[in-house]
């Protein structure tokens, strides 16, 4: 199955760029219909534009409530005929109503081996706990933070010499491979 992907970002968009590149190189069949940022200052906006992808800024600060923000987001995704939403560094928790509306059509990449280290500051927490392994997880988004059904994971060895920064770099490299592998899997699973 070929998906029309909607990628949601808030920052640099390295996973977003990776997905765009994979579509251009035909590593996956899906197409990127749009990249949406809730942060008008996100570097990823410029990066996506340079790749010729439709970019939309839906600034959450211009809405008086989450309902109006998510309504605008949902309407734009529908307008672009998006059938799979990829969260790629989207730093906003989506409401239960939004997740229900897009049930099993939102995936997220998280920089830990879920269920360990849900939420923020995963690398710092992993280093503090002196774990031997960390990694990343792609999962379906449900109403609870980082708690949806796990699709796949990638393992990273944590060395004694690692700090949060070096661990983040190692995991990000694995994230890029994992996201594409998961998209390929979903395409073939739903043919």
Q: How far apart are CA 186 and CA 184, in angstroms?
A: 6
Residue 123 among the catalytic residues: no
- Residues 38, 13: Cα–Cα separation, whole Å: 12
Chain-centre distance for alpha carbon 57: 16
Cα gap 106→84, rounded to integer Å: 6
Nearest 10 degrees: CA dihedral of 165, 168, 173, 175? -170
Of 104, 174, 107, the closest CA to residue 146 belongs to 107
Of the candidates 110, 123, 139, 176, the residue annotated as catalytic is 110
Name the 3-class secondary structure at 133. Answer: strand
Concatenated DSSP letters of 97-111: HHHHHTTT-EEEEES
Give me 13's structure tokens: 């968009």
Beta-strand runs (E) in 26-105: 31-37, 55-57, 84-87
User: Hey, which residues are catalytic here?
Assistant: 110
């Amino acid at each position: 199955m070929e998906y029309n992907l909607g990628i949601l970002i808030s920052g640099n968009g390295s996973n977003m760029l990776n997905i765009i590149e994979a579509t251009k190189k035909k590593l996956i069949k899906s197409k990127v219909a749009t990249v949406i940022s809730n942060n008008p200052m996100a570097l990823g906006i410029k990066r996506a534009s340079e790749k010729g992808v439709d970019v939309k800024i839906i600034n959450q600060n211009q809405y008086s409530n989450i309902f109006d923000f998510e309504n605008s987001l949902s309407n734009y995704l529908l307008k672009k005929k998006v059938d799979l939403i990829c969260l790629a560094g989207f730093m906003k928790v989506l409401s239960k109503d939004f997740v229900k509306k897009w049930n099993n059509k939102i995936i997220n990449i998280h920089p830990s081996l879920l269920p360990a280290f849900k939420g923020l500051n995963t690398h710092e927490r992993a280093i503090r706990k002196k774990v031997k392994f960390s990694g990343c997880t792609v999962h379906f988004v449900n109403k609870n933070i980082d708690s949806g059904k796990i699709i796949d994971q990638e393992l990273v060895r944590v060395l004694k010499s690692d700090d949060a920064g070096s661990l983040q770099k190692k995991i990000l490299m694995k994230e890029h491979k994992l996201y594409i592998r998961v998209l390929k899997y979903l395409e073939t699973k739903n043919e």
